[in-house]
């Protein structure tokens, strides 16, 4: 048992130093300053942008709100598409009422990845803004991100997921002011550091992608349960660049009840665990990936098992006290 504790502690020390060394490059405002400089070069007609609003069974209220916010983008050369994987007549009528394009499928193969790939085949914008329908984009989202694509190596510009309401359990306990969201550290700290090593994780919504980059890898990855992290990983292994702009340019809703919250986190967990599995067919450790990219992937993978490690450290002293060892 002592040897097992020693091994666990050694692993935690290794992880600590592997996270500490990159953290010395933490500079949260760097990309915002760069966006200020690049935004001046953005012209409304320079490039076409398709806005994909992905939905399955969300309420028409959420979709209507997202459409209105998308139409208010301060960029003229844009086309809005509602990607309804639920193939609902009410959403078709809503899209017609609000004068936006509507795309549906007869099946739901490959979930959101299949939905996005289906839209890719039917559109032709040079860039794509991807939104989950429960998010509201700010007016400047396109203008703040598009300038980074002057670098022809950039495939995606990712912005943070930010929520205008606290998580369900924090609301239920009345602890909104005391309990920060579990994603705050990821978006405000880890993603900022990852950006310095081209190891940013694509996170499902509020990002702009270069169409030619997606087409170069055959579209969104369909071999895993979630499409965002895996597609971003495939792009990195093909030597594309993913930029992280640490600026809140959209807000979204958190799950409305504990069941939806747990299902969301379990889906994220399963997707994270699949990244390094052979079934996803992602060559993370090929010659195109750098040393630090591989380190970040291993650290992210290991972080999914941290709760088990913490439980181990909690219960071992109790077991030792009980048996008198």
Of the candidates 120, 141, 136, the one whose C-alpha atom is nearest the C-alpha of residue 64 is 136
DSSP string, 116-168: HHHHHTT---SEEEEEETTEEE-TTHHHHHGGGGGSTTEEEEE----BSS--H
* β partners of residue 52: 81, 130
pLDDT of residue 281: 82
Residue 240 has pLDDT above 70, yes or no: yes
- CB neighbour burial string for 158-192, b if at least 16 within 10 angstroms, e if fewer: bbbbbbeebbbebeeeeeeeeeebebeebbeebbb
Question: Beta-carbon neighbour count of residue 98 at 10 Å?
Answer: 16
Whether 85 sits among the annotated catalytic residues: the reply is yes
Whether 228 sits among the annotated catalytic residues: the reply is yes
What is the rounded end-to-end Cα distance, in angstroms, of the chain? 10
pTM (predicted TM-score): 0.91
CATH code, domain carrying 194 = 3.90.550.10
Q: What is the pLDDT of residues 34-88, one digit of tens each?
A: 999 998 777 666 799 999 999 998 999 999 999 999 999 999 999 999 999 999 9
CA angle 98, 39, 28 (to 5 degrees): 105
Q: What is the pLDDT of residues 266-299, one digit of tens each?
A: 888 888 888 888 888 888 888 889 999 999 999 9
Q: What is the pLDDT of residues 110-164, one digit of tens each?
A: 999 999 999 999 999 999 999 999 999 999 999 999 999 999 999 999 999 998 8
Number of domains in the chain: 1
Residues 50, 132, 134, 228: which is the catalytic one? 228
Angstrom distance (rounded) from CA 33 to CA 95:
37
Residues 50, 84, 85, 167: which is the catalytic one? 85
């Amino acid at each position: 048992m002592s040897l097992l504790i020693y091994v666990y502690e050694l692993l935690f020390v290794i992880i600590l130093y592997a996270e500490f060394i990159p953290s010395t490059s933490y500079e949260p405002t760097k990309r915002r300053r760069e966006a200020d400089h690049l935004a001046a070069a953005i012209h409304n007609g320079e490039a076409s942008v398709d806005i994909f609003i992905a939905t399955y069974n969300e309420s028409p209220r959420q979709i209507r709100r997202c459409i209105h916010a998308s139409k208010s983008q301060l960029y003229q050369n844009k086309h809005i598409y509602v990607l309804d994987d639920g193939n609902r007549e009410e959403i078709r009528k809503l899209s017609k009422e609000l004068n936006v394009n509507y795309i549906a499928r007869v099946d739901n193969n490959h979930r959101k990845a299949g939905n996005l790939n289906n839209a890719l085949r039917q559109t032709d914008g040079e860039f794509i803004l991807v939104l989950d329908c429960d998010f509201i984009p700010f007016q400047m989202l396109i203008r703040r991100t598009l300038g980074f694509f002057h670098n022809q190596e950039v495939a995606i510009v990712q912005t943070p997921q930010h929520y205008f309401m606290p998580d369900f359990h924090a609301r239920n306990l009345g602890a909104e002011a005391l309990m920060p969201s579990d994603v705050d550290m990821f978006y405000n700290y880890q993603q900022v550091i990852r950006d310095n090593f081209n190891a940013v994780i694509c996170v499902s919504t509020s990002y702009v992608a270069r169409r030619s980059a997606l087409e170069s890898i055959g579209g969104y990855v369909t071999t895993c349960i979630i499409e965002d992290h895996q597609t971003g990983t495939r792009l990195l292994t093909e030597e594309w660049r993913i930029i992280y702009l640490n600026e809140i340019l959209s807000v979204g809703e958190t799950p409305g009840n504990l069941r939806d919250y747990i299902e969301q986190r379990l889906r994220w967990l399963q997707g994270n665990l699949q990244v390094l599995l052979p079934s996803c067919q992602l060559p993370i450790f090929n010659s195109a990936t750098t040393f630090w990219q591989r380190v970040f992937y291993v650290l992210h993978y290991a972080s999914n098992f941290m709760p088990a490690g913490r439980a181990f450290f909690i219960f071992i002293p109790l077991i030792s006290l009980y048996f008198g060892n």
